[in-house]
A and B are shown apart, each in its own frame.
Chain A
Amino acid sequence: MKEAMSKFLCPYCSTTFGVFEELKAHAISDHKTESVPAPEGLIRLTVNREVHEIQVEPQWTLNYLIHDRLGLTSPKMFCDRGACGSCTVILDGRPILSCMTLAIECDGTTIETAEGIAKSNHPLLDSYVKHHTMQCGYCTPGFITTSKAFLDRNPNPTEEEIREALSGNLCRCGTYPQHPKAVLEAAKNLREG
């Protein structure tokens, strides 16, 4: 588990712990308590297979948490109003907009960002490079996460289905024609292993 940002104080002996789970285990074993209540705003979520436990403020968006706090910079902030797709992450299998999601409501969820997709060597990466599917590259992580979530559900898509799935992602450089080509090729490579 990644080191948490918060310190947790034992209400019985004032020892501090970096992770809430450790405080809980300590209270149960050393003080023979049932448990200690989790502080408000403490959430646990899995991002790219790493578990994070972090104290969040109610007004933090998921984008702020991932990008500014966890330092994963792929979910891009662009419109900040749910209208461009640049901040897309995969949350429990769904491609969602991290700018319109409250971090505090993501307790217990599993999230995947473009960093995680890159680490897993997904064929989308090679096909996106091969088909020149980016120019400035700012919108690309949003397209990659949307495409990955789509291929997870639909491994053998038609070009039309790909266009529909990517229709919420805007690209000001105008790379649109390249995306269906890249996604079709990635789908083929995925199926052929």
Chain B
Amino acid sequence: MKKFSHVNALTIDEAVSILRRYGDRASLIAGGTDLLGKMKDRILSRYPEALVNLKTIPGLDFIKEENRILEIGALTRLEDIAIDQTVRGGYAALAQAANRTASPHLREMGTIGGNICQDIRCWYYRHPNNRFPCLRKGGGRCYAIEGDNRYHSIFGGSVEEGCYAVHPSDTAPALIALDAEIRTSKRTIKAGDFFQVEVTKTTVLDEDEIVTKILVPRPPENAKSGFVKFALRKTIDFPIVNCAALISSSEGKVSAARICLNAGYVKPYRASRAEEVIVGKTFNEADAEAAGSAAVSEAKPLPHNGYMVQIAKTMVKRAILACG
């Protein structure tokens, strides 16, 4: 890697003030599993002048539940979330999502904060040495739309950018289904409002803003949540499509549902059509399948990714049945 300067931040305030001083020339580093890959491949025209290490800030690595709210520090490793008994018990979709992310080693390193702030994986965008200076890097065109788009969005591009790169996170849909909130150094943001598509950006965070913790309200007693993921290999690989659901029911009938797909659209994709269809139904194959079909009713696949529509539909169906 090319040289950069490195600062071990000791407090959030210190990290924020370093970010302010450097402007867009500094990057935060948590587990580093996403960031270092980008730096090694020099995918962007700009290389960070400084890295600000968040791991040296005490008190950002914890899991606790108080007053029916689960709190997870931004620096908490995915493996710790996956094996935590409280998370597995009350917030199954999140534990399952963390458990299906990347590989065992990457889960020991990667943090939840880094997971929701990670960059896109479009192979044109990620090609070494900024070979494809596409729209998402501030360039003039999208190479995926005319090239190989087998892993791109099936629900259209982002309006402003015409970019079809999907959001790759496994924990994001679980956090949205569970109606979590993201606490930052400045404000609290609903997980559903956290993701945004801009040039070299995937979230609504300002340049000097840091995620400090995640808050997840405990689902009601009559609710169950679940997460499913389809990937080429069971491990290491990013999702082709994943889906998380939180479904409440009484007397066997669905009374409320929150369903979120990811890796199928430029942001996590709330399957509100599927939610409407499944409410009032019992847990059975046919109704879950109908909800799956409703979820993809607005799909507009690209030339090479039609297969993802079928997968998205099945992911919705399986996520619903996992909550039964």
Residues of A within 8 A of B (CB): 41, 57-59, 61, 80-83, 85, 88, 94-97, 100-102, 104-105, 146, 164-168
Known contacts A57-B3, A81-B37; A95 and B104 CB within 8 A of each other: yes
Determine whether the beta carbon of A167 is less than 8 Å from that of B109: no
Q: Residues of A contacting B17 with CB < 8 Å? A: none
Determine whether the beta carbon of B6 is less than 8 Å from that of A97: no
**Considering only CB atoms, which chain B residue lies closest to A150 in the complex?**
B104
Interface 1/0s, chain B 280-318, versus A by CB < 8 A?
Answer: 000000000000000000000000000000000000000
Determine whether the beta carbon of B5 is less than 8 Å from that of A58: yes
Determine whether the beta carbon of B37 is less than 8 Å from that of A100: yes
Query: Is B42's beta carbon under 8 Å from chain A?
Result: no
Determine whether the beta carbon of A59 is less than 8 Å from that of B105: no
Q: Residues of A contacting B40 with CB < 8 Å? A: 80-81
12 CB contacts below 8 A, A to B, read A58-B5, A81-B37, A81-B40, A82-B105, A83-B103, A100-B109, A102-B51, A105-B6, A165-B104, A167-B235, A168-B102, A168-B105
Q: Which of B33, B104, B235 has the most CB of A within 10 A?
A: B104
Known contacts A83-B236, A102-B29; A59 and B109 CB within 8 A of each other: no
Q: A39: shortest Cβ distance to chain B, in Å? A: 13
Q: Residues of A contacting B106 with CB < 8 Å? A: 82, 97, 100, 168
Determine whether the beta carbon of B103 is less than 8 Å from that of A95: no
Q: Residues of B contacting A61 with CB < 8 Å? A: 1, 36
Determine whether the beta carbon of A105 is less than 8 Å from that of B105: no
A101's contact among B4, B32, B104, B235, by CB below 8 Å, is which? B32
Q: Residues of B contacting A101 with CB < 8 Å? A: 32, 109
Within 8 A of A (CB), among B1-52: 1-6, 8, 29, 32-33, 36-37, 40-41, 51
Query: Is B234's beta carbon under 8 Å from chain A?
Result: yes
Determine whether the beta carbon of B6 is less than 8 Å from that of A168: no
Q: B88: shortest Cβ distance to chain A, in Å? A: 15
Q: A169: shortest Cβ distance to chain B, in Å? A: 8
A124–B182 alpha-carbon span in the complex (Å): 43
Q: Residues of A contacting B235 with CB < 8 Å? A: 167-168
**Considering only CB atoms, which chain A residue lies closest to B6 in the complex?**
A58
Determine whether the beta carbon of B36 is less than 8 Å from that of A102: yes
Determine whether the beta carbon of A167 is less than 8 Å from that of B103: yes
Determine whether the beta carbon of B104 is less than 8 Å from that of A168: yes
Determine whether the beta carbon of B108 is less than 8 Å from that of A96: yes
Q: Residues of A contacting B37 with CB < 8 Å? A: 81-82, 100
In the complex, besides A83-B103, A146-B105, A167-B104, 4 extra interface pairs with C-beta distance below 8 angstroms are A82-B36, A97-B105, A105-B32, A168-B235
A82–B38 alpha-carbon span in the complex (Å): 12
Q: Which of B5, B77, B105, B236 has the most CB of A within 10 A?
A: B105
Q: Residues of A contacting B32 with CB < 8 Å? A: 100-102, 105
A82–B118 alpha-carbon span in the complex (Å): 15
Q: Residues of B contacting A81 with CB < 8 Å? A: 37, 40-41
B104's contact among A41, A80, A164, by CB below 8 Å, is which? A164
Interface 1/0s, chain B 39-81, versus A by CB < 8 A?
Answer: 0110000000001010100000000000000000000010100
Q: Residues of B contacting A105 with CB < 8 Å? A: 6, 8, 29, 32, 53, 55
Q: B85: shortest Cβ distance to chain A, in Å? A: 15
Determine whether the beta carbon of A168 is less than 8 Å from that of B3: no
**Considering only CB atoms, which chain A residue lies closest to B53 in the complex?**
A105
Q: Residues of B contacting A97 with CB < 8 Å? A: 33, 105-106, 109
**Considering only CB atoms, which chain A residue lies closest to B107 in the complex?**
A168
Within 8 A of A (CB), among B188-242: 234-236
Q: B49: shortest Cβ distance to chain A, in Å? A: 11
Q: Residues of B contacting A41 with CB < 8 Å? A: 6
**Considering only CB atoms, which chain A residue lies closest to B104 in the complex?**
A168
